[in-house]
Amino acid sequence: MKVLIVGSGGREHALGWKIKQESSSTQLIFAPGNAGTELLGTNVKKTDDTSWASLANKLGVEMVIFGPESPLAEGAADDLTQYGFKVFGVGRMAAQLEASKIFAKNFCQRYRIPTAAYKVFDKLGPALDYCEKAPYPLVIKADGLAAGKGSVIAEDWPSAEATLRSFMEEQSLGDAGRRIVVEEFLEGPELSLLAFFDGSQYVLLPPCRDYKRLKDGHEGPNTGGMGVIAPVPVDRMLLPRINEAILEQFRIGLEKEGILFKGVIYFGLMLTPKGPYVLEFNVRFGDPEAQALVPLVDLPYLELMEATHQGMLAKFSHDLFLRELENRPRASTCVVMASEGYPQESVTGRPITLDSAAAGGALVFHAGTMKKGDQVLTNGGRVLSVVGTGRSPDEARRMAYGGVAKIKFEGMQFRMDIGA
């Protein structure tokens, strides 16, 4: 089979690597890909005046797998489905659960899915008036897609005012910050729960936890993600509680609103003293969550993706991955290495030394990289994801940081406390 994987990050490299592990005969094409995906298949560029359906037809692919959310929000999966391609990725309506924080919050409210209390604003004045009198800390979120940088925890009124003016007045996030959500601040450990979902049946992936802040100790600005650990140990009663209060209500809500969902659903959760609350929905594999999850369990991702597209996930047990981990305990640690200046203005074009990074068993998934002759250069904010796996979290962590120690590029940034 010939498969097109859309995206250029570590997530897409990891998915391609997994598919090649399962079936070396599968032909992979990446659009646009990176220096790492070149080792697995062919990188191509899509021009702005070419639709995804036209590109898929020209390339002669049978299946298209979407990594990032933006093309899904633009309806790319709908177009491809209409032309008869196998697609792993949700349609435009389902993508609104990620593309609009306001849509997602209102959806939670309609179907009694636990989420933080919130207010919506589309004008700066009322937002300033509300936040000046509100209790702190509070959370300010841009409505639209912002590459993981549209959520700010405001500790006091001056920081809230600065954020509101940045989003709504200075348009630092473009149209994404034209409307905003102001939420109550929730406390507790965070948990990421991803699942294959075909509209009626879930197949859960192991719970994981991502590290969003740039610096050790959860300091510094929010990023798209600086690391992940998986699986996260949870109370045995927690997953049934999440299933009843969140997953089942989510399924009912989609059914009532006539929203077809075939892809991955990512629940960003906060485990509060009152129970699990939804912080956000994502409608695709997380990045770097995918890099940590994909190598963790030896199960057929491509077959699961095809079954999701066909609405046939019922042939798999919903706890397939969890049972596999019970029978064969494994852990993974993913450490993201980023460019100087990230997450603001990233410095690119710097040579990377990584030839021996995998010598200790670590996996290295490329993101912001490009090839120039025989040299690999930085070409984005998050450059590489280094993943260690093992029979214990400590073993996985040692392997990941052993790989990190063998990678060099000027100005590199990474956290030292992933999994600590």
Residue with tokens 């032909």: 27
Can you tell me the mean pLDDT for 34-39? 97
- Do the beta carbons of residue 11 and residue 71 sit within 8 Å? no
Q: pLDDT averaged over the chain?
A: 96
3-class secondary structure, 416: coil
- Do the beta carbons of residue 11 and residue 3 sit within 8 Å? no
- Do the beta carbons of residue 271 and residue 246 sit within 8 Å? no
Specify the pLDDT at position 356.
Answer: 72
Closest CA to 33 of 404, 365, 356: 365
Can you tell me the mean pLDDT for 50-73? 97
What interhelical angle do 101-110 and 92-99 show, nearest 10? 100
Domain boundaries, the chain: 2-90, 117-184, 190-327, 331-404
DSSP for 113-146 reads: --B--EEEESSHHHHHHHHHHS-SSEEEEESS--
Q: 117-184 sits in which CATH class?
A: alpha beta
pLDDT digit string, tens, across residues 294-351: 999 999 999 999 999 999 999 999 999 999 999 999 999 999 999 999 999 999 999 9
3-class secondary structure, 375: strand
Closest CA to 207 of 190, 230, 180, 240: 230
Confidence (pTM): 0.96
pLDDT digit string, tens, across residues 349-406: 999 998 776 778 999 999 999 999 999 999 999 999 999 999 999 999 999 999 999 9
At the topology level of CATH, where does 331-404 sit?
Glycinamide Ribonucleotide Synthetase; Chain A, domain 4 (3.90.600)
Specify the pLDDT at position 148.
Answer: 75
Rounded Cα distance between 392 and 202, Å, is: 27
- pLDDT at residue 236 above 90? no
Can you tell me the mean pLDDT for 237-257? 96
Specify the pLDDT at position 222.
Answer: 87
pLDDT digit string, tens, across residues 159-199: 999 999 999 999 999 999 999 999 999 999 999 999 999 99
Q: Is domain 190-327 annotated with CATH 3.40.50.150?
A: no
Q: Is domain 2-90 annotated with CATH 3.40.50.20?
A: yes
More confident residue, 69 or 149: 69
Residue with tokens 């094409």: 29
Give, in degrees to the nearest 5, the angle at Cα 175 between 170 and 176.
100
